[in-house]
Chains A and B, each alone.
Chain A
Amino acid sequence: MSGPSKRPLSPHLQVYKPQMTSVMSIFHRASGVALAIGTVVLVWILVAAASGAAHFDYVIGLLGTPIGRLALFGWSFALYYHMCNGVRHLFWDMGYLFKLKNAFAAGWLVLAVATLLTLATWCCAYYY
């Protein structure tokens, strides 16, 4: 070996045809980053609550606006998606679901369960 390889590196993402498995993998990362940023809101609520009623009411007021509710809705779906797909990853870690058919089936199951949990949560929030 003399020096770094001159052979082409792995081509960029866009030359591949998107597949459910690869798209779900990207969204696992994207949802993780979104959730990490979303934790700032949790910290904001806690610090505001510790600072006094006026601060707390201000944050809760912002979250109650249509944009705030939309952000919370997106956050809840990102959470359930990341959680369900994370469980799919844990099954892979244990050596299951490697057959292509099973990997795809588990992927669809993740999407279905994440969607159902998101809708169930918001039904509870509004009607319960």
Chain B
Amino acid sequence: MKLKWENNGIKTPLARARGLGSAKEGTDHWFMQRVTAIANIPLMLWLVYSAVNMAGATHGEFTSWLAQPLNAILMILVIISVFYHAKLGSQVVTEDYVHNEGLKMVKLIGQKLFFLAMGVAAIFSVLKIAFTAGI
């Protein structure tokens, strides 16, 4: 596939640059990767601490633990921050290593939808447990 920025001798420099990324976004990708990275540090330490604490827990013990507001809130924050970070990171990996334009687009869109779907599934599950466990 012919790449958009390849010079075919007819296009002006502006025409080649158009559609190759928005100047409006600026450093948003880079910055949000750092913001979520910083958020992930305490959140993931809490997740590992909780996992170690909950090792061997029964279904009832686990759901009543997750139903406590603090735990449910932290778990939802983990999901949002981690999946946002994973989406940003995997996007860069795909952009760097997948050179076929069509395949790259399929992977980028697929990753976005995948992490969104995973996040929604996880958050719904936490909310369901939080609102129904122990009733």
Contact = CB atoms under 8 A, between A and B. Distances in A.
A49 B59 contact: yes
Interface in B1-54: 6-7, 9, 34, 37-38, 40-41, 44, 47-48, 52
Contacts of A89: 37
Contact of A36 (B79, B90, B121, B125): B90
Contacts of A100: none
Contacts of A43: 118, 121-122, 125
A32 B89 contact: yes
B56 to A, nearest CB: 9
B125 A49 contact: yes
A16 interface: no
Contacts of A53: 58-60
Given A49-B66, A90-B38, A33 B93 contact: yes
Given A4-B6, A39-B83, A90-B34, A128 B44 contact: no
Interface of B: 6-7, 9, 34, 37-38, 40-41, 44, 47-48, 52, 55, 58-60, 62-63, 66, 75, 79, 82-83, 86, 89-90, 93, 115, 118, 121-122, 124-126, 128-129
25 contacts: A3-B6, A29-B93, A32-B86, A32-B89, A32-B90, A33-B89, A33-B90, A33-B93, A35-B86, A36-B115, A39-B118, A42-B122, A43-B125, A46-B75, A47-B121, A47-B122, A49-B125, A49-B129, A50-B129, A76-B48, A83-B41, A86-B37, A90-B37, A121-B48, A125-B55
